[in-house]
Amino acid sequence: MSAKPLPSGDDARRLELSHLYLTAAIKLNTARRTSPGQPPFRGAIGGISIDRKGWLFAWAAYVATTADVPELSVWPAAQRGVPFDVVLPAAAEVEVLVRIDTPERAVGRLAHHLHDISMVRIDPDVDYLRRAVAAYRHELRLERDRAGTEEGSA
């Protein structure tokens, strides 16, 4: 687990992450309070994503209704990070649950949180996540090596 404080609020929305796993829309057991004058959040989506340094993030995004959750086809599958602002409604709130090093721990934290807020049980393919994380981190190492070689020859 990373010792740095977890991003929240606008900082969490600006995170540029590559998304490895997303849940479908989830209806919350109890509505989540928002800013005064705004409707409470009644829907959510959860996910596991990776940043450009190789850290995994388990997160949940809260929306007014489950209809406000973007279709899964809207989420970019690109290797490059994409901010949440690109795919989530403006009123959505992103909560980063954990920044961690292993897919198993990320899945465990996300599963525990989603069960707490909605009684939903998730069963992501951890073997796939392990392979995807290893491939992503390998690609990051190759990029760093290429950048170091180019700087050394310049």
- pLDDT exceeds cutoff 60 at 13: yes
- State pTM to two decimals: 0.87
Beta strands in 70-130 (DSSP E): 82-83, 93-100
For residue 151, the model assigns a pLDDT of 74
Q: pLDDT tens digits, residue range 119-135?
A: 999 999 999 999 999 99
Cα distance between residue 61 and residue 102, in whole Å: 21
Cα distance between residue 93 and residue 8, in whole Å: 9
For residue 79, the model assigns a pLDDT of 55
- pLDDT exceeds cutoff 90 at 10: no
Q: pLDDT tens digits, residue range 56-93?
A: 999 999 999 999 887 765 565 545 677 887 788 888 89
Cα distance between residue 33 and residue 39, in whole Å: 8
For residue 74, the model assigns a pLDDT of 54
Q: pLDDT tens digits, residue range 15-67?
A: 888 888 889 899 999 999 988 888 899 999 999 999 989 999 999 999 999 99
Both tokens of 124, joined, read: 């992501």
Confidence bin at 147 (pLDDT 50/70/90): confident
For residue 60, the model assigns a pLDDT of 95
